[in-house]
Amino acid sequence: MTTATQTVGEIALEQPMSIPVFERYGIEYCCGGRMPLAEACELKDVAVEKVIAALEAASRKPELRRNFAQHPETSGLPVILSGTE
């Protein structure tokens, strides 16, 4: 379950299905990913509850459930989020 206090980067890393949701709302999940979800939503003038509902809906799509934190070899996302190469 996603919470408003998690950072956007954490959510993107653990729940890759969140990325299209963040892109839909213009929420930066890469370089600005260290920001808590509530703060990122406030900057974009969107209700955090609305984004969390969209994230939960996206989580029900089985093809998008891969956890990049558990499978970092399949994505460059952990490298992008950590700022290392």
* Stretches in the chain below the pLDDT threshold 70: 62-85
The pLDDT value recorded for residue 40 is: 96
Question: Around 41, how many Cα atoms within 13 Å sit in the side-chain half-sphere?
Answer: 19
Residue 40 resides in a domain: yes
Instruction: Give the per-residue pLDDT at 1.
Output: 83
- 1, part of any domain: no
> Is 3 inside a domain boundary?
no
Q: Which amino acid is at 60?
A: R
* Count of structural domains within the chain: 1
Give the pTM: 0.73
Assigned domain for 54 exists: yes
pLDDT at 85: 45
Residues of the domain holding 56: 8-82
Write the CA distances from 33 to 4, 38, 51, 60, 61, integer angstroms.
13, 12, 15, 23, 23
pLDDT digits (tens, 9 = 90+) for 3-21: 999 999 999 988 889 999 9
